[in-house]
Amino acid sequence: MLSSLNGYTALLLMPMACVPVQRLYLKEGQRYDLGATTYVSAGAFVAAAAFAPVPADRDVAFRIVIVLGIAVFAIFLVRVFALTFGRPADFTLISFGQLWATPALIGYELQSLTRGSGLPLQSVVANSEPVALGACVLAASLVYLLNQTTLPDRLIALTEAPEQYRLLFGSPFRLALRLEALAFGVYFAAGTLLRLTMNDLSADTFGTETVWCVLAAALAARSTQAWVLAGPVAATLVRFIIKSLVPARFSTLTVYAALALVLVLVITHAQEASRDAAA
Amino acid sequence: MTPLLSVSDLVAYRDEVALFSPTNFAVRLGDCLRITGRNGAGKTTLLECIAGLYDNWSGSIHRPPGKISYLQQTSRYVRTLPLLKLSRLVDGFEESHYRQLVENLDLEPRQNVLLALLSGGELQRARLLLSLLRHHSVLLLDEPFANIDISSCRAIVGELQRTRSHRATLIVTHPHDANDKLIGECLEYALSSDQC
């Protein structure tokens, strides 16, 4: 079945890889975290550079590493400090900015790299299905292992009562650092998998595909059991419909419009859920 | 015996206005100090200064080398986890200590219920349990008997009395709190704003 999906494999794979961390940040739909794109892009770039059959242009590669390093470090700090003060809701704004800016930035840089150095755009793994299946197993194991730790409860405690957390449960900064390191590790690995399974790393494709992957992950993280697949499948279907019906030159615009619409719906729903919970 | 906690000429400010006149006291191991004052006198702010949650103050506070545990009056607490899960997050959690406190505070049947679903008295006992569970040498209690019935009050006082010798306790209450007589022998300090 997976082989028939071909280029869509990544759309199923990426959300599964990201779900463990996404689930951690969610509780009753109150929080919405899409802050994965920078880390995913970093993973994809590092994998692309590492698997390059010919040496990449050093100047271009160095420039990309600097841009990527600064972006990853800045996002890491912002997210850690936002969580330290118990306000992951701020992630919505941060992530929204990331979602628009980072794929375009990294996509542009990747395109520069490929043009300047001859880095291949093709998939580096001939048979990506075993990689996808392996990633799903790993993601499921990670979800199980995370549920055995106190991390989910600690995150809930910190976001509900940051002052009480500081007084009773330990350092919020240390917890935020641990969580963010975990998020970085998982998303970075997801980016590496993306590179291993995607057949096209051109700026346009890479940018929009990353958006779909992250969106699918966000939906999947809100589901349980078999419904976890609903997000990836829905994202794949919507993507397929847009690509089939919308002329190519408008497809990226439509993708982002669809994404904005979903974001508005989810945020509105999250606010309602939050009000219901408060009531 | 050296004081565990001492406060000298402490004045807290809000909008550059002093909340209370210079405050001085010291407590030793086993002491219980009852701090009283009218509404708005700055009792909660005083505890926040000692706990390190409020910065706008002058004077000096010598805190103990061990930790301070603080039962806040605030309504901002974790609501969507049960007591058992929340307890396991406490710094220095010990299963045997938890079991003992759950039994003494009569919370055994309610330890798997979300905090949001507990009654006022149960919630106050649960919050006290969390404060007592943390290793500490000074315990700060901000109106621990507010809005709770006499049986919850007795359970709280009983637990505080049992372990009183292990710590210094500061309790903030109103001047004529009917439950105060339950606390037993306590030093008194009336927070005043006369000189402000």
Rounded to an integer, the average pLDDT of A263-267 is 66
- So what's the pLDDT on residue B49? 92
CATH number of the domain within which B21 lies: 3.40.50.300
Closest CB from B74, B78, B134 relative to A156: B78
**Domain span holding position A228:** 2-278
- So what's the pLDDT on residue B99? 92
Asked, for residue B195, whether it belongs to a domain, the answer is no
Asked, for residue B36, whether it belongs to a domain, the answer is yes
Stronger pLDDT, A203 or B161, i.e. the higher one: B161
pLDDT of residue A77 exceeding 80: yes
pLDDT of residue B196 exceeding 50: no
Stronger pLDDT, A33 or B152, i.e. the higher one: B152
> Which residues in chain A have their CB less than 8 angstroms from residue B75's CB?
none
B interface test, pick of A30, A148, A164, A276 with most B CB neighbours within 10 Å: A164
Residues 6+ apart with CB under 8 A from B36: B43, B172, B173, B174, B175, B188, B189, B190, B191
Stronger pLDDT, A122 or B177, i.e. the higher one: B177
What tokens were used for B12?
């807290």
Rounded to an integer, the average pLDDT of A87-91 is 52
The one-letter code for the residue type at B120 is G
What tokens were used for A207?
């940018």
- So what's the pLDDT on residue B194? 55
CA geometry: angle A111, A113, A117, nearest 5 deg: 130
Rounded to an integer, the average pLDDT of A273-277 is 53
- So what's the pLDDT on residue B157? 82
> Is A59 an 8 Å CB contact of chain B?
no
> Is B145 an 8 Å CB contact of chain A?
no
- So what's the pLDDT on residue A3? 41
pLDDT of residue B87 exceeding 90: yes
Chain position carrying tokens 């990331």: A98
Residue B132, classed as helix, strand or coil, is helix
> Which residues in chain A have their CB less than 8 angstroms from residue B91's CB?
168-170
Do the chains contact at A156 and B80, CB–CB below 8 Å? yes
Q: What is the pTM of this model?
A: 0.71
Per this entry, what is the length of chain B?
A: 196
> Which residues in chain B have their CB less than 8 angstroms from residue A157's CB?
78, 81, 86, 89
- So what's the pLDDT on residue A96? 47
Asked, for residue B177, whether it belongs to a domain, the answer is yes
> Which residues in chain A have their CB less than 8 angstroms from residue B89's CB?
150, 153-154, 157, 168-170
Say if residues A152 and A146 touch (Cβ distance below 8 Å).
Answer: yes
- Alpha-carbon distance values, B111 to B9, B123, B195 (Å): 43, 11, 47
**Domain span holding position B62:** 5-190
Rounded to an integer, the average pLDDT of B48-54 is 90
Per this entry, what is the length of chain A?
A: 279
Q: How far is CA B139 from the centre of its chain?
A: 5
Closest CB from B76, B85, B91 relative to A164: B76
Give the distance from residue B194's alpha carbon to the nearest chain A alpha carbon, in angstroms: 31
- So what's the pLDDT on residue B112? 92
Do the chains contact at A160 and B130, CB–CB below 8 Å? no
> Is B91 an 8 Å CB contact of chain A?
yes
ipTM associated with this complex? 0.83
Q: How far apart are CA A190 and CA A50, in angstroms?
A: 15
What's the total number of domains in chain A? 1
| Mean pLDDT estimate for chain A | 66
- So what's the pLDDT on residue B195? 46
Say if residues A245 and A47 touch (Cβ distance below 8 Å).
Answer: no
pLDDT of residue B88 exceeding 90: yes
Asked, for residue B33, whether it belongs to a domain, the answer is yes
Rounded to an integer, the average pLDDT of B63-78 is 81
Say if residues B182 and B167 touch (Cβ distance below 8 Å).
Answer: no
The full 3-state SS of B18-82, as one line of letters, equals ECCCCEEEEECCCCEEEEECCCCCCHHHHHHHHHCCCCCEEEEEECCCCCEEEECCCCCCCCCCE
Do the chains contact at A164 and B72, CB–CB below 8 Å? yes
Q: How far apart are CA A136 and CA A149, in angstroms?
A: 20
Q: How far apart are CA A29 and CA A159, in angstroms?
A: 13
What is the helix (H) or strand (E) element at residue B138, kind and residue range?
strand B138-142
What's the total number of domains in chain B? 1
Do the chains contact at A157 and B89, CB–CB below 8 Å? yes
Stronger pLDDT, A230 or A243, i.e. the higher one: A243
